[in-house]
């Protein structure tokens, strides 16, 4: 996952994605970094509600998401320094609506988070931010076989975890990583992701400003406040 420079390192990281130890932590109930962030993360990226607010602010917010932007937070209000660190990149396509204000379509978010509480690993997650998504309906908390494509790397087929988010039950596909350092080490400035399920693309997103986002995430993991707790302006 993320940009891996050598085949050996790529194979090594793929081997530990949802390895037996990480999978055991998830099924054993110590996956609290996920449980604690779900509601707040949903509020942070509740795009539809935001777009129904003040018209000027809604249009400004829409343009930022069409361009693609980062949001940062600690996913728990009383989190200890260095814990529950989350970076989320949001992106959507413009939907032209003649005679009406432009809208958005194919909205997607990619989230990097961890560690938190008993769960010392990290997560890479993908979640739609609109109602026009193509995510499957699947059993919550169970492995789901998907193909992950990154940049110009060869695609890999592996298990992810299917979850639902917040009160609206927004679907999310999660990949577990042994630690946040491994996740951050692979972040590059511009990088694309595609998640394929049963030969259908269900997530397709390309981030920018990845190095700035990594610096923000490193700041949080080091126990320091984010420089900008809401978003990274490019």
What is the predicted pLDDT for the residue at 112? Answer: 93
Whether 90 and 67 have beta carbons less than 8 Å apart is answered as: no
Q: What is the mean pLDDT of residues 60-86?
A: 88
DSSP bridge pairs for 162: 173
As a whole number of angstroms, the distance between CA 187 and CA 180 comes to: 11
Q: What is the mean pLDDT of residues 109-131?
A: 87
Which residues make Cβ contacts (< 8 Å) with residue 51, sequence separation at least 6? 58, 61, 62, 103, 104
pLDDT band at 102 (very low <50, low <70, confident <90, very high): confident
62, pLDDT greater than 90: no
**What is the DSSP secondary-structure string of the chain?**
-----SHHHHHHHHHHTT-HHHHHHHHTT--HHHHHHHHHHHHHT-HHHHHTS-HHHHHHHHHHHHH-EEEEEESSTTPPTTSSEEEEEEEEEEE--TTS--EEEEEEEEEEE--BTTB-SEEEEEEESSS---PPP--TTSEEEEEEEETTSPPEEEEEEEEEETTTTEEEEEEEES-HHHHHHT--SSEEEEEEETTEEEEEEEE--HHHHHHHHHHHHTT---SSSSEE--
What is the predicted pLDDT for the residue at 199? Answer: 95
pLDDT band at 52 (very low <50, low <70, confident <90, very high): low
What is the predicted pLDDT for the residue at 3? Answer: 34
As a whole number of angstroms, the distance between CA 85 and CA 71 comes to: 11
Which two three-digit tokens encode residue 51?
A: 């777009």
Which two three-digit tokens encode residue 144?
A: 């789901």
Which two three-digit tokens encode residue 140?
A: 């919550």
Q: What is the mean pLDDT of residues 81-96?
A: 92
Which two three-digit tokens encode residue 52?
A: 């129904």
Q: What is the mean pLDDT of residues 171-195?
A: 90
Which residues make Cβ contacts (< 8 Å) with residue 164, sequence separation at least 6? 140, 170, 171, 172
192, pLDDT greater than 70: yes
């Amino acid at each position: 996952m993320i940009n891996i420079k050598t085949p050996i390192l790529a194979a090594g990281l793929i081997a530990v994605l949802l390895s037996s130890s990480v999978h055991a932590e998830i099924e054993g109930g110590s996956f609290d970094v996920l449980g604690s962030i779900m509601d707040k993360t949903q509020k942070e990226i509740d795009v539809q509600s935001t777009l129904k607010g003040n018209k000027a602010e809604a249009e400004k917010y829409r343009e930022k998401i069409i361009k693609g932007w980062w949001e940062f937070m600690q996913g728990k209000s009383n989190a200890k320094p260095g814990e529950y660190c989350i970076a989320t990149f949001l992106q959507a396509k413009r939907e032209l609506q003649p005679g009406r204000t432009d809208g958005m379509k194919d909205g997607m978010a990619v989230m990097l988070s961890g560690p938190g509480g008993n769960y010392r690993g990290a997560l890479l997650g993908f979640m739609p931010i609109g109602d026009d998504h193509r995510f499957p309906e699947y059993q919550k908390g169970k492995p789901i076989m998907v193909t992950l494509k990154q940049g110009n790397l060869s695609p890999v087929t592996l298990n992810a975890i299917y979850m639902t988010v917040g009160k609206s039950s927004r679907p999310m596909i999660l990949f577990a990583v042994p630690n946040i350092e491994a996740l951050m080490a692979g972040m590059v400035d511009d990088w694309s992701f595609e998640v394929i399920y049963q030969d259908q693309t269900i997530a397709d997103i390309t981030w920018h400003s990845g190095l700035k986002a990594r610096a923000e995430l490193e700041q949080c993991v080091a126990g320091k406040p984010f420089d900008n707790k809401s978003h990274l302006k490019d």
